[in-house]
Amino acid sequence: MDEQQEHYKESKLIEFEEKFEKASNNYLESGLALKEIRERRLYEGQHKDFKDYLSVRWQMTESYASRLITAAEIYVRLRGGHPEVLPKNEAIIRVLAKVEPVEQQVEAWKTFAEAFAGQKINAGKLEKYLLENGYIEPKVPKTPKAPKEDKVETGALDSVSYSVIRGLIELDTKSVLEEFHKLESSDLQSVRNKLMELVNQM
């Protein structure tokens, strides 16, 4: 990068940073400013990547910045569809972001805005409408994972002698105990303990 290009990137970075600062709580202007900085890679030369830039310059996570950028992109897309009203806050945009493919977002917003014309619009109403009209799928609750069972290696089970198994079948306690003693010094102590519990229950 020559000196002229470097100066141009620095001036553009300052320009979009000023826009971001002035935007304050305006998610649209904030998102658009960050989008320009990211896509033009204006942070290069001062930071190793966009994530580092966000962290050092704004104390912001990359996921939050991506959310602002996505919200701004959706707003611009909606504006291009010329709806009668546009979303007033990021919470509404986040719900609309669930509609896929993105080309359906304009249609979904227009039909929703028409259905609730003259009424107060919020994220909750939008999500309910999108669910009822098939624009988004309901969340499927996660099935809780079954507790892990203690596993005994196959090799350990295979090494238990036939006489132990036969002793258990025939309830020959003496034979079983004799075989248990052979396992005491081995790495199969857990197998031995479980079998001992079975014998004690007989």
CA atoms lying within 13 Å on the CB side of residue 198: 17
pLDDT band at 152 (very low <50, low <70, confident <90, very high): very low
Percent of the chain scoring above 70 in pLDDT: 71
When pLDDT is averaged across residues 39-56 and rounded to a whole number, the result is 95
What distance in Å separates the CA atoms of residue 138 and residue 136, rounded to the nearest whole number? 7
Residue type at 129 in one-letter notation: Y
User: Which segments of 11-70 are extended strands (E)?
Assistant: none
Mean pLDDT over residues 40-59, rounded? Answer: 95
Spell out a b/e string for 158-193, using b for 16 or more CB atoms within 10 Å of the CB, else e: eebeeebeebbeeeeeebbeebbeebeeeebeebbe
- Predicted confidence (pLDDT) at residue 141 exceeds the cutoff of 90: no
pLDDT above 90 covers what percent of the chain?
57
Q: Residue 181 — very low, low, confident or very high, per pLDDT cuts 50/70/90?
A: low
Would you place residue 195 in the very low, low, confident or very high pLDDT band (cuts 50, 70, 90)?
A: low
Q: Which pTM does this prediction carry? A: 0.65
Kindly state the average pLDDT of the residues 91-101. 95
Tracing tokens 């609750």 back to the chain, one arrives at 141
Which is higher by pLDDT, 60 or 150? 60
Q: How many residues does the chain have?
A: 202
CA 112 – CA 114 distance, rounded (Å):
5
pLDDT-derived band at 157, boundaries 50, 70, 90:
very low
**What secondary structure does DSSP assign to 110-130, as a single string?**
HHHHHHTTTS---HHHHHHHH
pLDDT band of 156, cuts 50, 70, 90:
very low
* Secondary structure (3-state) at 47: strand
Q: How many CB atoms lie within 10 A of CB 26?
A: 15
pLDDT, tens only, 111-137: 999 999 999 999 999 999 999 999 999
